[in-house]
Amino acid sequence: MNVQLVSNWAHAVQTFAVASLFVALVALILNIERRLKLWKIPKFVAFTNGVPEHNFFAQYATQLYHQAYKKFKDSIYRVAVNGEPECILLPTKLLPELKKHPDDVLNVMEAGNKTLDLNMIHCIKASLTPALGRLNHDITEEISIAFEKEIPPCKDWTNVNVHDKIANIVAEVSRRMFVGPEICRNPEYLDHAVNFTTDLNDAVFAIKRCNSWLRPFMESRLPEMKRFNDRIRRATEFFTPIILSRMKPENKSDDMMQWMLDYSMSTGKGNTMHEHVRRQLDVTFAAIHTTTTTVINCLYTLASMPEYIAPLQEEVRSVRAAHGGELSAPALQHLVKLDSVLKEIGRMFPTTVRSEAAQSQFVSSNIRDLYFGYGKHACPGRFFAANEIKIIMAQLLLDYEFKMPDYQIKRYDQITYAKFITPDASKTLLMKRIY
C-alpha cells in the first residue's frame, strides 16, 4: 500500500513538473518572439551619467524624449530607462492608420483596463455630456457661489495663491454635477475631492523614487502610501451610506453618482462597494486635475501678457449681452477668442511631453491636437471640462484684474517631474476686484 502511494505521489510530481516545464517553455517562446519583434524597432538608450537610475527619469524625462524625437523623428522608436516601462513611440502621421483598426486588433480600453473604468466612461458619454445644456445654469450658479467663498474680497491689489483657490472652485463645481446639491457642500466630501488627487500623486511619486527591486518591499511602508490607503479607508466610510441610500428607488437623483450606480446595477459590472467608491474618487480626480491645470496655465500666461486681457473681456461682455445676460451653453460656443487662447495654451503648456502643434477648437480631437487624446477614445469628459473652464475664465475676466507680482514680466516656469509638466502651484498673482 505504501509503495503504491509513493508511486502515485511520484507520478503526480512528475506530471506536475512536466506541465510546469511546458508552461514555462511556452512563456519563454512567446517572450522571445515578442522581443524579436521589438528588436526590429530602433531603441534610444539613456545614459544616466552618474545619476541614480531611479532618479534619472524623474529629473531628465523631458530632455530624454526631446533627444529621442530629434534622432528618430517621423519614425517608430523605443525609449528605455532602467526602472521604467519601455515605451514605444509613434509619429502622429500614423494615428489615422491606427484609428482604422477595430478593437479586436488595437484596443486602448483593454490596454488600460487596470486604470480606466469603463462604467465611468460610458456614463460620461451617455449621460453627462448630453446633460450639459440643461445643467449649464447649475454650473454657472455653483461657480459664482464658489468664487464668493474662495476668492478674497480683493478691494485693493491682493496677493493670492490662485492654484489652491482654483482647485477648490473646480472641486466645488464638479461635485455639484457628480453628487448633487445635497452632498456637494459637505466639507468632508470637499476634502476627499481635493486631497485624493494630492495623496494619489504623492504615493505614485514616492514609489517611483524607490529602486525598482525595492518597491515590492517598500510600498506598504512608505508614509505617502500609508496616507493614501488611509484616504481610501475614510472615503469608503463616507461614501458607503450615501451609495446604499442612492440604490433605493425613492432616492434617485440627476447626477453622475446616480448615473454610474444605475448603470453598474443594470449591467452587473463593477457593482461592489469598493468599485463604487473608487469610481467616485476617480471621476473627481479626472475632472479637477485637467481643469485646474488649464485655468492656472491660462491665468499665468495672461498675467504675463496683459495686452490680451482687454479683447477677451470685451468678447465675454458682448457674448453674454447677446444671450440675455447669461453664458448659456450656446453662448459658450461664441467665445471664439477665449477658445483660441485656451487652445494655444494647451499647445504651449501641455500636461505631458509632446512636440506637435495644435489646431481647431479647444475640444477638438485630431491628428495635430492630442491635448484631450485622439479618435473615438479621446477624453470623454472634455466637453464638460471645456464648459467649466470657459465659465470660470469668463467670471475671472469680468470680475477681476490680475497681474504678476513685484513688477515681474516673465511668466512662471512650469514644473516637470518625469514626463509630467504642471504649473507651479506655489506661485501667486495680484488680484483686484472690478466694481
For residue 358, the model assigns a pLDDT of 37
Residue 186's alpha-carbon distances to 128, 171, 399, in angstroms, are 22, 12, 27
Sequence letter at residue 323: H
Nearest-10 crossing angle of helices 273-304, 223-246:
110
Nearest residue to 403 via CA among 432, 430, 434? 430
Contact in structure between 176 and 138 (CB atoms under 8 Å): yes
Which runs of E-coded beta strand occur in 181-261?
none
Tell me the mean pLDDT in the region 121-147. 89
Query: Topology of domain 118-433, per CATH?
Result: Cytochrome p450 (1.10.630)
Alpha carbon 62 to its chain centroid, in Å, reads: 19
Nearest residue to 192 via CA among 206, 171, 177? 171
What is the dihedral angle through the alpha carbons of 52, 57, 61, 63, rounded to the nearest 10 degrees? 20
For the cut 90, the answer to whether the pLDDT of residue 389 exceeds it is: yes
Indicate the pLDDT class of residue 88, thresholds 50, 70 and 90: confident
Write out the DSSP string of 211-227: -TTTHHHHGGG-HHHHH
What is the dihedral angle through the alpha carbons of 176, 388, 283, 84, rounded to the nearest 10 degrees? -150
- C-alpha cell of residue 215: 518597491
Name the burial class of residue 367, with classes exposed (0-12), middle (13-18) and buried (19+) by CB atoms within 10 angstroms of its CB.
middle
- Whose grid coordinates read 530607462? 81
For residue 232, the model assigns a pLDDT of 94
For the cut 50, the answer to whether the pLDDT of residue 390 exceeds it is: yes
Write out the DSSP string of 359-385: -S-TT--BTTB-TT-SGGGS-TTHHHH
Which residues contact residue 385 at a Cβ distance below 8 angstroms, ignoring those fewer than 6 apart?
Answer: 287, 290, 291, 294, 379
Cα distance between residue 75 and residue 61, in whole Å: 20
Q: Comparing 161 with 343, which gets the higher pLDDT?
A: 161
Sequence letter at residue 142: E
| Ranges in the chain annotated CATH 1.10.630.10 | 118-433
Phi-psi region of 373 (alpha: psi -120 to 50; beta: other; left: phi over 0): left
Cα distance between residue 252 and residue 265, in whole Å: 13
Indicate the pLDDT class of residue 109, thresholds 50, 70 and 90: low
For the cut 90, the answer to whether the pLDDT of residue 79 exceeds it is: no
What backbone phi and psi angles, to 5 degrees, belong to 427? Answer: -80, 160
For residue range 349-372, list pLDDT tens digits in order.
Answer: 877 655 443 344 565 556 556 666
Q: Comparing 358 with 256, which gets the higher pLDDT?
A: 256
- What average pLDDT does the chain have? 83
For residue 349, the model assigns a pLDDT of 82
- Which of 37-41, 276-280, 388-392 is predicted with the least confidence, judged by mean pLDDT? 37-41
For residue range 177-196, list pLDDT tens digits in order.
Answer: 888 887 888 889 888 888 89
- C-alpha cell of residue 151: 476668492
Contact in structure between 249 and 242 (CB atoms under 8 Å): no
pTM of the model: 0.80
For residue 366, the model assigns a pLDDT of 61
Tell me the mean pLDDT in the region 219-247. 93
Indicate the pLDDT class of residue 82, thresholds 50, 70 and 90: low
For residue range 166-177, list pLDDT tens digits in order.
Answer: 998 998 888 888
